[in-house]
Amino acid sequence: MAYDYDLFVIGAGSGGVRAARIAASLGAKVGIAENLYLGGTCVNVGCVPKKLFVYASEFRAQREAALAFGWQQAEPEFQWPTLRDNTRAEVERLNGIYGRLLDGAGVSLHYGLASFVDAHTVDVAGQQITAEKILIATGGWPRRPSFPGAEHVLTSNEVFGLDTLPKKVLVQGGGYIAVEFAGIFNGLGVDTTLVYRKQLFLRGFDTEVREFVAEQVQQQGLTLRFNDDIASIDKNDDGSLEVSFVSGRRECFDAVFSAIGRSAKTSALNLSAAGVELDERGFIRVDDTFKTNVDSIYAVGDVIGRVQLTPVALAEGMALAKHWYAGEALAVDYSNIATAVFCQPNIATVGLTEDEARAQGLDFDVYASNFKPLKHTVSGLQECMLMKLLVDKQSDAILGAHVVGEAAGEMIQSVAVAMKAGASKAHFDQTIGIHPTAAEELVTMREPRA
């Protein structure tokens, strides 16, 4: 059968665009469909605008620190519309870049909602398109809570375009998105409370890191309310939101931001028409080759729910395209993936946590350092740093590395490279540090914790 395309991609986010471009560059005829915005979640309502907001939220503390270093000036006034509009302009610039990348690679872009007709056919805005292979890369979507009044909450899809900055906000959730946005609001001068239904946020991260961050963000003025949750929300005549908590407490806020998780974005795909199966969590089920239960249909990125990070989606999309059209072995290494949480202070981690290492029965040493960086010995700010290495006693291999503090993500990237290369603790010890930096602590921790 003659198909319209060798490969048709549904979703022009990170993984989809990378797969489409690589496939086209290797000689495949490729089409791609997108019904919202080019670049996906990361570019439009995720990593990029969020990181720009994080930068903005850090300037207030930096201004306080500057006073101790001799910089005197009038109290600055934050203008929310400036941040919002400049961020939007950068997002639009990136949208244009993605469009040009697709066009330059010879990928045909179809604007519209794509849904399956059968295993080789999709409908895009009323046009039926056929392809030998179809790749689903539609990503994820914020989950909305189900309590009474949930229609009043904001999610990460809406928060970047607010008309005005709220004066008092409640953040619901304990994952990295909730913690990051709580830090953003707090840093911008908003009276901010984070509520989480369990004992401590950031489940899955190292326990010591979680406890350290909880202490640090409270010192910066963020109110943490653990072991509680939202029961309902009522909107008052003045527009404020009266929140009833499970604990029985009631309090009014100008806005409520909910970040309770993300689900696979599959509802509009009409997967049943092609017979594609979901797993028990609602993500698309794929095998080791990213193939669904239907031979012609594949999926990568957040929609498969493996490791929901933009660089992982990029790696999956590139590996699959090179496997198909260049004959390369299909291999995506999910071990030791470095990640960062851009709360304040930042968290960056790679490898195992203490709990994970114990659960695996490993015999390991912990090297840790908790200190105030040089900058803040003068600034007067109370922000401290935590650095931690887990080292296998028998092999001396680095099992995990964790950094909390300014520029943590910038530090951990190099540590991740070292771990991929098999670096041992002895290699770290033999490396001469750069002085004075916080990062030198990673190569000067000599004695394990007792």
Which sequence positions are flagged as catalytic?
A: 435
Picking from 425, 424, 429, the residue whose alpha carbon sits closest to that of residue 440 is 429
Q: Which residues does residue 166 pair with via DSSP β-bridges, in sequence order?
A: none
Query: Residue 445 gets which letter from DSSP?
Result: -
> Would you say the C-alpha torsion 336, 341, 346, 352 has a positive or negative sign?
negative
Q: What is the dihedral of CA 407, 411, 413, 419, to 10 degrees?
A: -150
User: Which amino acid is located at 140 in the chain?
Assistant: G
Are 177 and 302 a contacting pair, CB within 8 Å? no
- In angstroms, the CA 260 to CA 219 distance is 24
Instruction: Report d(CA 208, CA 206) in Å as an integer.
Output: 6
User: In which region does residue 418 sit, left (phi positive, over 0), alpha (psi from -120 to 50) or beta (all else)?
Assistant: alpha
Please state, in angstroms and rounded to a whole number, the distance separating the CA atoms of residues 259 and 244.
18
Secondary structure string (H, E, C) spanning 305-327: CCCCCHHHHHHHHHHHHHHHHHC
The two structure tokens encoding residue 384:
């401290």
Indicate the helix (H) or strand (E) that contains 425.
helix 425-430
Distance CA 392, CA 358 (A): 11
Task: Write out the two tokens for 293.
Answer: 């239960």
